[in-house]
């Protein structure tokens, strides 16, 4: 059956537009994905739609065709807005289509900070030139620009643009507080923002702009995804984290992160082995062989306790890693960005 063949792809896309009846759009979307044997996640809201779906090439092509002809998106969405990578239906455990308040969970009412107030979109080529200029100025210690990664720490850890400022945050909903706590940092700066596919920048840039402290806010159109299509060996080093069972996709052979236990170069995430922990851990094959498979010592302990206890008791999803991490880090100096620019 052509729709179920293993060699397929994963599509990532979003569309901001006015949706009068999100429930109806949700039901339609659900039926469409089931019909095409697609798995993945689709978020629908009154502000638009955001999806990542996997299936056979035949199915994903049909999906794009249908989406482009849907009257709601017809004049807004185009072929270019779909980012694709090798994968398939097997990249997701199931299909989840739901109605939410926001199509990307920033935790701020879309009526208060709207995607309509977004920054200036730069094509991958324009962004590449900007980063090039930024890096050469930063190396002379005279840059008025901040290259800001809008993603979470576990994403930027395995891949990022050289010289970027990557907030040590665990969820995008902490991003606004990060901006608030570090407003001084952005004063009179030109900010170049980027994320995986562009969607977090749409709201993130709008939030930053609403603070009225920056000189200029730019964002990478189509995100790292589109940048890597044009510049596989550009200024983005390492892997691109994705929110499905693949965890990462790769455009160059660079490994920029290390095993949590022995420090050897390693960038392939696994889920912490402790039953109720949802943290990801970088642990290399030889450390895994030694049984070092949890995200931290607390979890490693917990795992031993759980195995010896009658199941059915649930443990809170918390561990040393999340407890020790400040919810919103305060950046003290820009020195680390300047240092990072040298790698």
pLDDT value for 343: 47
Query: What is the domain count for the chain?
Result: 3
In a domain, 341, yes or no: no
Terminus-to-terminus CA distance in the chain, angstroms?
A: 48
Tens-binned pLDDT, residue by residue, of the chain (343 aa): 555 556 799 999 999 999 999 999 999 999 999 999 999 999 999 999 999 999 999 999 999 999 999 999 988 999 999 999 999 999 999 999 999 999 999 999 988 988 889 999 999 999 999 999 999 998 888 889 999 999 999 999 999 999 999 999 999 999 999 999 999 999 999 999 999 999 999 999 999 999 999 999 999 999 999 999 999 999 999 999 999 998 999 888 899 999 999 999 999 999 998 877 878 999 999 999 999 999 888 888 776 665 555 554 555 556 767 676 667 777 765 555 555 555 4
Q: Do 266 and 169 share a structural domain?
A: no
pLDDT value for 304: 65
List 195, 201, 277, 287, catalytic entry: 195
* Inter-CA distances, 10 with 32, 35, 53, 147, 285, Å: 16, 16, 6, 28, 27
Query: If phi over 0 gives left and psi between -120 and 50 gives alpha, with beta otherwise, what is residue 220?
Result: beta
Contacts of 70 (CB under 8 A, 6+ apart): none
pLDDT value for 140: 82
DSSP 200-211: HHHHHHHHHHHT
In a domain, 340, yes or no: no
pLDDT value for 56: 96
The alpha helices in 12-123, defined as continuous H runs, are 22-35, 57-69
Q: Do 234 and 154 share a structural domain?
A: yes
pLDDT value for 262: 94
DSSP 224-245: HHHHHHH-TTSSEEE-EE-SST
- Check if the beta carbon of residue 8 is closer than 8 Å to that of residue 59: yes
DSSP 101-139: S-SS--SS-TTTS-GGG--EEE-HHHHHHHHHHHHHHHH
d(CA 202, CA 57): 29
CATH of the domain at 65: 3.30.70.100
In a domain, 17, yes or no: yes
In a domain, 107, yes or no: no
Give the structural domain span for 274.
258-305+315-327
Q: What is the DSSP letter of 292?
A: -
Q: Do 180 and 268 share a structural domain?
A: no
Q: Do 147 and 197 share a structural domain?
A: yes
195 is known as an active-site residue: yes
Q: Do 149 and 227 share a structural domain?
A: yes
Q: Do 233 and 282 share a structural domain?
A: no
Q: Do 129 and 15 share a structural domain?
A: no
* 36 alpha carbon, distance to own chain's centre: 26
CATH of the domain at 185: 3.40.250.10
Q: Do 301 and 212 share a structural domain?
A: no
Q: Do 192 and 288 share a structural domain?
A: no
User: pLDDT tens digits, residue range 146-165?
Assistant: 999 999 999 999 999 999 99
Q: Do 264 and 246 share a structural domain?
A: no
Q: Do 61 and 92 share a structural domain?
A: yes
Element holding 338 (H helix, E strand) = helix 335-340
In a domain, 320, yes or no: yes
In a domain, 50, yes or no: yes
In a domain, 337, yes or no: no
pLDDT value for 173: 95
In a domain, 228, yes or no: yes
Give the pairing of strands 120-122 and 95-99. Answer: unpaired
Q: Do 148 and 79 share a structural domain?
A: no
d(CA 71, CA 170): 37
């Amino acid at each position: 059956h052509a729709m179920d063949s293993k060699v397929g792809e994963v599509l990532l896309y979003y569309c901001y537009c006015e949706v009068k009846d999100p429930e109806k759009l949700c039901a339609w979307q659900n039926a469409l994905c089931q019909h095409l044997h697609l798995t993945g996640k689709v978020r629908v809201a009154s502000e638009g739609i955001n999806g990542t779906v996997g299936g056979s090439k035949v199915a994903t092509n049909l999906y794009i065709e249908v989406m482009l002809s849907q009257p709601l998106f017809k004049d807004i969405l185009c072929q270019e807005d779909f980012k694709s990578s090798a994968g398939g239906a097997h990249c997701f455990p199931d299909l989840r289509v739901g109605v939410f308040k926001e199509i990307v969970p920033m935790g701020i009412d879309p009526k208060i900070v709207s995607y309509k107030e977004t920054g200036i979109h730069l094509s991958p080529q324009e962004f590449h030139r900007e980063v090039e200029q930024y890096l050469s100025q930063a190396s002379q210690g005279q840059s008025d620009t901040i290259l800001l990664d809008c993603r979470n720490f576990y994403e930027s850890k395995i891949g990022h643009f050289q010289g970027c400022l990557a907030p040590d945050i665990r969820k995008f909903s902490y991003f606004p507080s990060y901006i608030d706590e570090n407003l001084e940092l952005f004063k009179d700066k030109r900010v170049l923002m980027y994320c995986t596919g562009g969607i977090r920048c749409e709201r993130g840039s709008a939030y930053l702009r609403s603070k009225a402290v920056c000189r200029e806010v730019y964002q990478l159109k189509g995100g790292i995804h589109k940048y890597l299509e044009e510049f596989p060996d550009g200024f983005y080093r390492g892997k691109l984290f994705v929110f499905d069972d693949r965890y990462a996709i790769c455009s160059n052979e660079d490994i920029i992160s290390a095993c949590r236990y022995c420090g050897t170069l390693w960038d392939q995430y696994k889920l912490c082995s402790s039953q109720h922990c949802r943290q990801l851990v970088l642990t290399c094959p030889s450390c895994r062989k030694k049984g070092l498979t949890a995200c931290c010592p607390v979890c490693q302990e917990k795992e031993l306790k759980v195995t010896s206890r009658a199941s059915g008791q649930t443990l809170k999803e918390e561990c040393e890693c999340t407890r020790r991490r400040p919810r919103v880090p305060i950046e003290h100096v820009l020195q680390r960005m300047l240092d990072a620019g040298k790698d």
